Copies of this chain bind each other. A is one copy, B any other.
């Protein structure tokens, strides 16, 4: 042990000397040299100290610690040399006054709704109160009704209920977390006539079936509760009363009754400790195999004999939220902005979600400040943002983006987001024209556990994952690409679920979302009172190694984006992704047609009736509409044109960019700064115009997950056949507009188009 201590002390002295000398030595002018200096400025102990302070008390919207954290972050930015301020917004944010959940029949049981403190954990040492387990933006109410178990409460679960001959009309549903976004559960329940919604965490999903429970292991303990927002994200995120505009003090507001993103039935989240009593009281059909969790009970669907009583009452007052905005002005192109963000509000202590990402962002900001202090200046303006009220539904980022929309549409080159973070493998999603840039950065960052690049580790993990039982076709396809070192690994398209949404979905600002995951595990404390500093340091990222690694990874993206002389996009990556997405849409249509034909024959042959067990409740499925022919030609043409143009652009950029005269280069950069805005025409998506991006959107029935070309794919999924042609048209138009811009850029590069100063 002694040798290690000596080596450690010697290392500390060396680092101290290096740091002391560093402030006076000149910075290297090359990218690699700059980034090496940047890396040396990232100190895991800083991250630890910041998290300990920020996660010391509950920091939800409206809490004293949330406000204090914003003030702290502001001061840190200022200390590090940034031009920083707080922007305050005024939002509708209900907090619970009274919550009741009881089983009335067949026996009386009052749900505890409590997460008891765990000795040695912040849940036991904090002095300020946490909010109880609740679902923000559920609707207050008082319901007593029969109970029905609806599995994940997703669209296909209601199809299954129909086949079981079970209706939720006038009932209280109990759904388990998982299978899709939380907010869809009360929404779909209400749409099917339910009058209340209970959501619980099944041990199969994030409890004892996954690993030992906290504090012995990382997973959700018996009384752990997942809080969360149930605002209807598919319509618009942000303050429910100010869609499309910033929730400033004097903004024009909807009434609560007018706000379409509010769910209209009471809902409550509970632990599996509480849920077991409700579920084991149910009779009726046995739940289908895929519906069964791992409580030691037989899962029945109901209804009968169970009757539950659910009552929620909230304070619907306005709350203040605090976004911290820090700017470092660009020396060459101050009106081109590289924006970096992560939220600072948590559900209780918020250690892994969001503070793991927040402390990485702070480490970047401190290091960039230090580089600036030593004479380096970004060519473009860098904007660091620390958002509030993300947990409520991306409110801090959305209100800021809406408030500054015209300026952002002009100036935002890219938005780079992070949120949760854990020990593991690089996760990267975003606008696919930035895929090559992510690959370049990932190839230059070393994984601390294996000493290979984080790119190589991601590739290896994908290849191993593709061999595992149940690997999806998508994973297999990604693994195939990852196995070819000549190809870039793929990045996932983004939907929603974190602060990039307003930038990407509403403004058409290309966005990236990065983090590490897959080894450390915070699923079991997600949105609970146990997502604490102690849990994070024991199970998620001991030593803050991967939180620091996130800073090194995203920091490189920020440095390169702000310093690059040339456009960052590679157009053919985007074109290839569009081609793949179009193929997927066609495949989906073909499957839908086959399913409808198969079902029609089966209904004609009475197969559902004949196969049914007459001793069990059942009903035939609702007939699927016949699937008409769809004219994909406009989109086929658009994608083919895009592919050709993208290829020409990438070629021209590689050949001619370094010889381009300054005015031509400025014009080129200006085109490519705004090119992604073509994907987000002002009309937006049919029926939900806040979502303007017609290429990337969260699915109406997926919540967070992306749905590419949503106007096409969702019309197919919903059997809205008349809308498919319209979807094809608006998607093709957007791609054609993108291609037109790209052709201009290519002409500039090839010298066939010139601009005067």
Contacts and interface: CB of A to CB of B under 8 A. Distances in A.
A456 B602 CA distance: 12
Contacts of A450: 609-610, 614
A272 to B, nearest CB: 10
Interface in A217-248: 217, 219
A295 B290 CA distance: 17
Interface string A438-469: 00000000000110100011011101110101
Contacts of A623: none
Interface string A205-218: 00011111100010
A599 to B, nearest CB: 8
A646 to B, nearest CB: 30
Contact of A296 (B210, B295, B461, B469): B295
Interface string A515-547: 000010000000000000000000000000000
A113 B598 CA distance: 50
A301 B687 CA distance: 51
A322 B161 CA distance: 51
Contacts of A647: none
A605 interface: yes
A280 to B, nearest CB: 10
A608 B459 CA distance: 11
Contact of A613 (B204, B470, B519, B602): B519
Interface string A469-495: 110000000000001000000000000
Number of copies: 2
Contact of A469 (B290, B464, B610): B290
Contacts of A204: 294
A41 interface: no
Interface in A267-286: 286
A18 interface: no
B208 A296 contact: yes
Nearest to A607: B460
A290 B609 CA distance: 33
A273 to B, nearest CB: 11
Contacts of A598: 463, 467, 483
Nearest to A518: B613
A733 interface: no
A252 interface: no
Nearest to A216: B298
A212 B611 contact: no
A460 B611 contact: yes
Contact of A610 (B219, B292, B456, B615): B456
Interface string A295-322: 1111100000000000000000000000
Nearest to A610: B460
Contacts of A720: none
Contacts of A519: 613, 615
Contacts of A655: none
Given A519-B613, A601-B483, A614-B449, A298 B212 contact: yes
Contacts of A602: 460, 463-464, 483
A296 B298 contact: no
A354 interface: no
A452 to B, nearest CB: 6
A441 to B, nearest CB: 18
A457 B612 CA distance: 9
Given A294-B294, A519-B615, A610 B209 contact: no
Nearest to A203: B296
A463 B212 contact: no
B296 A611 contact: no
B208 A298 contact: yes
A615 B611 CA distance: 50
A217 B295 contact: no
Contacts of A107: none
A606 interface: yes
A460 B605 contact: yes
B298 A610 contact: no
A404 to B, nearest CB: 42
Contact of A460 (B292, B297, B606): B606
Contact of A292 (B209, B452, B461, B467): B209
A633 B593 CA distance: 40
A209 B296 CA distance: 7
A217 B456 CA distance: 53
Contacts of A212: 286, 298
A296 B456 CA distance: 38
Contacts of A219: 298
Contacts of A610: 450, 452, 456-457, 460-461
A517 to B, nearest CB: 12
Contacts of A457: 610-611
A678 to B, nearest CB: 39
Contacts of A467: 598
Interface string A185-214: 000000000000000000110001111110
Contacts of A459: 607
Contacts of A601: 483
A297 B449 contact: no
Contacts of A452: 610
Contacts of A295: 296
B464 A211 contact: no
A297 B208 contact: yes
Interface of A: 203-204, 208-213, 217, 219, 286, 290, 292-299, 425, 449-450, 452, 456-457, 459-461, 463-465, 467, 469-470, 483, 519, 598, 601-602, 605-611, 613-615
8 contacts: A211-B286, A211-B298, A212-B298, A213-B298, A294-B294, A460-B611, A463-B598, A483-B601
Given A203-B296, A290-B469, A425-B611, 10 more contacts: A204-B294, A294-B294, A457-B610, A460-B606, A460-B608, A463-B598, A463-B605, A463-B607, A464-B608, A483-B598
6 A-B pairs with least C-beta separation: A460-B610, A460-B607, A460-B611, A464-B611, A461-B611, A294-B294
